[in-house]
Structure 1
Amino acid sequence: MLKKSFYYLWGTQTISNAADVVYIMALTYLVLDQTNSALAAVLVPFFRVASQTISGLLAPLLVSKYQLPLLLFGSQLGQFILFGGLTIYLILVPKGHNFYFVFTIVFFMSFLDGWTTPARNALVPRLAEGKGLLKANGLISTTDQIVQCAGWGLSGILVAVLGSAHTLLLSLALYGVAMAFTMLIKDPTESNSNYFRHFKTSSFESVIEREKARPSRWHIMKEGWIALWHHPRLRTLTFMDAIDMLGGSIWVGSFTLLFVTTRLNEGTEWWGFINSAYFAGTIGGGLFVVTMVNRLEKRVFTAMVTGMIVYVILTVLYALNTHPYMALVLILLTGPVTELSAISRRTLIQRSVHKDLLPKVLSAQSTLTNFIFIISLLFMAWLADKIGIVHIYLLGAGISLSAATVGLLHRKSFTEQSPLKVPITDTK
């Protein structure tokens, strides 16, 4: 069910994610240490998300021209070179850094990383057949959460013990290993000898004719967006993702810290306990999907909606609770149902689109959700000062409930079996 290249893909993305966590922690500490500005430190994740959003808009142009393994390798190679230059600069210039240069490098690294997740998620259904797709998504999601859970804690220890410079060198080594694994990935649906699409002939005249027949760049860029809007199942899943993203921003660290200190009346150490419990729950949820894949295979839609509804109930109980230990239990239970819903949704999207259109659809969806997440963060932060942190969590639960309602109201769209094909034309 899982091809050999899937394990290479799984490995390279796990190592690359670990490198991301380590370098963000080290760089954030370095910026904060030398500027004493929380705003300057926040610019590191801000530039990452903003750059990935822009990259997602342009990703369809690359997807239509190059094979997915080559895009992944190009992304890893570019990040390795850029980060190598940044690391050398920070080591050679230990004080008085030009942070305009640093943030520029972060921006371009994130731009290259912007098409990695859509390309990875588009490759998974090509490397995992039948029941293997749900299992593959569960494995990837589980390791993503393990890296996030362990990475942030270990990165803090590494920075404290090794210092920022040596921690950055470790991250550079991880990027190099990830790049090496990426070279081993093969797409079984494409010719391994020709990574450059549309240039399969040495005849200059044939190349010119082929280029004339190609759709315009604007058409290629909007093809994924058109598919999201015109295909009933994709439209429903996208609405659910977008709405859920609005409510999901309540779990950002600053909101969790505010809840711990004002609602639970505990110190910042409980902030760490809450985060650890959540990640432990999401890891358990991913493992649950992997072990129960046979039973979930024909109930993916039911698993998705059930996970969302249970999540809403647990979030409401969490918001109304004032006991720290009960909060740990509730947040631990929230993780599995969150993962169950997210993995099911991703699997449904992958099965709803033809392999050639899927990367463009995932790029469009990633761009949309990143944008909504940024807007939601600002809106929820403003609203928290107005109505209080408890009402923020209740509002988030209500928003997620509306996402589940959208799925139930459009249940018929999930009975369609044939995936959306290409080409897509604008029907306006």
Structure 2
Amino acid sequence: MHSTFIRLVTGQAFNGAGMVLYIVCLMQMIYEASHSPILMSLVPVTITFTRFISGLVVPVFFQRFPLPMILLYAQSFKSAFFILLILVAFYGELSLIFILMSLLAFLDGCSDPASDALIPRFVQEEALVKANSTAAIVYRTIEFGCWALGGVFLAIFGAEPLLIVVFTLYVIATSVFWTIRQEASVLKDQPRKSSPFEEMLMGWKEVRRFSWLRNFIAVSFMDAAVGVVWIAAIVYIFVEEALGVSEVWWGWINASFFLGLIMTGVIVYAREHLFRRQLRRIVLIGFLGSALVTGTYALITLPLLALLLSVGVGVSQQLRGVGMHTILQQKISGEKLPYVYAVNEAVTTLAFGIGALTVGIIAENTGIRLVYLISAGFLLACMGLWFITFRKIGEEK
């Protein structure tokens, strides 16, 4: 596989590890400074809202800077802002903490579409399935490991050492992205021809142009909205209310979910030639599997069965995730791909925020089981819409 792709994934892995760890750290520090659960809960809300804004704004940069340079600049500024965040955090200035947190989230929202759009430029089309599965394995493993170990590290060593670790990870990520900067001379994007406002609308125009792409974005929106039922807070409520077992099972269920994700990524990587020929059906199977498993999950009372079903959810999510990324990279031209990814970033981030708010209201007023049943229904709707999309993808150019 292309060495530049490996460096791209490595840089994003260090960046992702730093992001998870600093969120863990900041939530704890904000709670200790304010003793306010509301302020602590504003951390993910702030990050979600800011990433939505960045998804709208980032197209302005695509015709002004090559994608590798966007990654490098974003990561460099993140390292600089994080130094300020460390200094401000120790003085307990909560308003400045939230401002700097927003700036970091904005830069993440700029770098992610650029990173995703670079993958088909660094690997050949027949290797896209293997490349996307590799990226998924690395990112999911890092995410799971950092969420699991971040809290333990924080409890043992405190916030100060953890913030230093995060800064070190950001510096390493910056160094890795520096090594691919030379690709900017090879991968120059089109010269600027449009106004900033027109550039912000470019991805949305591409979505409007193709009916299959509109369906694709709609599926992504619904998928992201219902995906919130697998975030840690919602799973914790399910373990407590529906299963009636200790919080230890919360950790095991989360581990089972990530095991399914990672295991499927490895299988897809090993058998990519089989998956490559059936991408559209694989996505369909992924949605069907998620709907069935999630619906069953809502009705169970046995903790062991919950572990098995969590593995199934991870398997299904990974199948459709790799499939949808690969199809988008195959069907959208390299020039337009960053703009479409920016639209997808904005849409899915907004959906996640709406989903989190809606799920919280439903869980509080009607019970946690109904949350998972509704989620299963939306996943079936995703499957139906994807079936329509599956037929249109081959018809439109």
Decide: shared fold, TM above 0.5. yes
Pick closer, same or farther for the CA change 1:196–1:296 going to 2, 3 Å.
closer
- TM-score under structure 1 normalisation? 0.89
CA distance in structure 2 between the partners assigned to 1:154 and 1:171 by the alignment: 13
Q: Is 2:4–2:180's contact at 8 Å kept on the other side of the alignment?
A: yes
What's the CA shift string for 1:337-374, capped at 9, x where partnerless? Answer: 11001110111111111111110111011101111211
What's the CA shift string for 1:364-408, capped at 9, x where partnerless? Answer: 111011112111211121122333211110110000110110111
What's the CA shift string for 1:15-74, capped at 9, x where partnerless? Answer: 111111111111111111221111111122221111111111111110121100000001
Compute the RMSD of aligned alpha carbons.
1.7
2:191 matches 1:191:
no
Q: Is 2:13–2:138's contact at 8 Å kept on the other side of the alignment?
A: yes
The corresponding residue for 1:370 is 349
2:133 matches 1:138:
yes
2:98 matches 1:103:
yes
Task: Report the Cα offset of residue 252 of structure 1.
Answer: 2.2
Give the match's secondary structure for 1:85. helix
Q: Kindly report which structure 2 residues correspond to 1:271-286, keeping only aligned pairs within 5 A, or say none.
A: 271-286=250-265
- One-letter code aligned to 2:133: G
Task: Specify which of 142, 146, 160 is matched with residue 165 of structure 1.
Answer: 160
The corresponding residue for 2:281 is 302
2:392 matches 1:407:
no
Q: Kindly report which structure 2 residues correspond to 1:11-160, keeping only aligned pairs within 5 A, or say none.
A: 11-91=10-90, 93=91, 97-160=92-155
Unpaired segments ≥5 residues, structure 1? 199-210, 419-428
Q: Is 2:74–2:107's contact at 8 Å kept on the other side of the alignment?
A: yes
2:382 matches 1:388:
no
What's the CA shift string for 1:169-202, capped at 9, x where partnerless? Answer: 11101100000000112576x624x96974xxxx
Quick check: 168-177 or 39-48, which moved more?
A: 39-48
Equivalent residue pairs, number: 397
Q: Is 1:67–1:197's contact at 8 Å kept on the other side of the alignment?
A: no
Q: Whose radius of gyration is greater, 1 or 2?
A: 1
Runs of 4+ with deviation above 3 angstroms: 88-91, 194-198
CA distance in structure 1 between the partners assigned to 2:87 and 2:189 by the alignment: 33
Q: Is 1:301–1:414's contact at 8 Å kept on the other side of the alignment?
A: no
Task: Specify which of 214, 224, 234 is matched with residue 203 of structure 2.
Answer: 224
Q: Kindly report which structure 2 residues correspond to 1:204-215, keeping only aligned pairs within 5 A, or say none.
A: 214-215=193-194
CA distance in structure 2 between the partners assigned to 1:402 and 1:196 by the alignment: 37
- One-letter code aligned to 2:200: M
CA distance in structure 2 between the partners assigned to 1:247 and 1:161 by the alignment: 35
The corresponding residue for 1:176 is 171
Unpaired segments ≥5 residues, structure 2? none
What's the CA shift string for 1:140-183, capped at 9, x where partnerless? Answer: 11111111111111111211222101110111011000000001
Identity %: 25
- One-letter code aligned to 1:250: V
Task: Specify which of 297, 315, 318 is matched with residue 318 of structure 1.
Answer: 297
Q: Kindly report which structure 2 residues correspond to 1:5-16, keeping only aligned pairs within 5 A, or say none.
A: 5-16=4-15
CA distance in structure 1 between the partners assigned to 2:190 and 2:165 by the alignment: 36
Higher helix residue share = 2
- One-letter code aligned to 1:299: Q
Task: Report the Cα offset of residue 254 of structure 1.
Answer: 2.2
What's the CA shift string for 1:198-253, capped at 9, x where partnerless? Answer: 4xxxxxxxxxxxx7xx2222211111011112213312211111122222222122
Task: Report the Cα offset of residue 108 of structure 1.
Answer: 0.8
